[in-house]
Amino acid sequence: MAEKNKTLVRFNVQNVKYAVPDASGGFGAFQSMGTSMKIAIENDSSTKSIYGDGKRIVHIVNEKGKTATLTQNNVCDAYEVAMGRKIRTAQGLADIKQLKNILHVIYFETCGIDEEGAMPIAKTMLYGVTSTRPAESFDQNTDDINESSFDTALEISGTPLLAANGANYKDDKGNEVVVWQMTVTPDDEGYDIFGSEVVLPKMAE
């Protein structure tokens, strides 16, 4: 296999979509979330050092998942309905108390420039996502239009990595592997369909 061109810079976030579970146990089609301005992803982890005989004998990293903040130009009402935070009434769209927590998948794309000057699109899926209601703030403090932005907080709990036979994959120590996110580029197999449907991470044959 030819070596991939190194991506020198990465920028932008676009084409953010979400997919929720369906009745068959899989996921439904991706739905657009509207236009976005930023996504910031951080690890949710902690560390602990254990000492014996006056020195550190082990340093443990406990990764619990990831957190993210998605900043958009507007609130996606369809997404809020799907998450159980809004409901369409006879009179209009109502905010309601959230009584369910739906694990879903978020998809987005980023742009880049590689060593050959080309601009490949990287596609990313976040797995096991839950979210909270975005805050809304509107202001007018100049004589020009003051556009608003809306932040949605995401918790990313991941999904099990699958073995080639479809069972949960285990490493050589017997541990199941959890995937928080997966990114593919044009050189990866299945790039064309990645994003047209939910693709669960799976090991090769």
Rounded to whole angstroms, the Cα distance separating 142 from 76 reads: 26
pLDDT category at 3 given cuts 50, 70, 90 is low
Taking CA atoms, 199 is separated from 44, 67, 106, 124, 131, in Å, by 24, 21, 11, 10, 21
- Give residues with Cβ within 8 angstroms of 137, minimum separation 6: 148
Query: Considering the entire predicted model, what is its pTM?
Result: 0.91
Q: What is the rounded average pLDDT of the residues 84-95?
A: 96
C-alpha span between 148 and 74 (Å, rounded): 8
- CA 33, CA 62: separation in Å to the nearest integer? 32
Q: Using pLDDT thresholds of 50, 70 and 90, give the confidence band for residue 138.
A: confident
The more confidently predicted of residues 184 and 147 is 184
* pLDDT over 60 (residue 162): yes
Q: In 3-state terms, what secondary structure has residue 142?
A: coil
Which own/partner pairs from 28-33 qualify as long-range (CB within 8 Å, at least 24 positions apart)? 29/197, 30/107, 30/195, 30/196, 30/197, 30/198, 31/78, 31/79, 31/82, 32/76, 33/70, 33/72, 33/76, 33/79, 33/106
Mean pLDDT of all residues in 116-144: 91
Q: How many CB atoms lie under 10 A from the CB of residue 41?
A: 15
29 contacts 197 by C-beta, under 8 angstroms:
yes
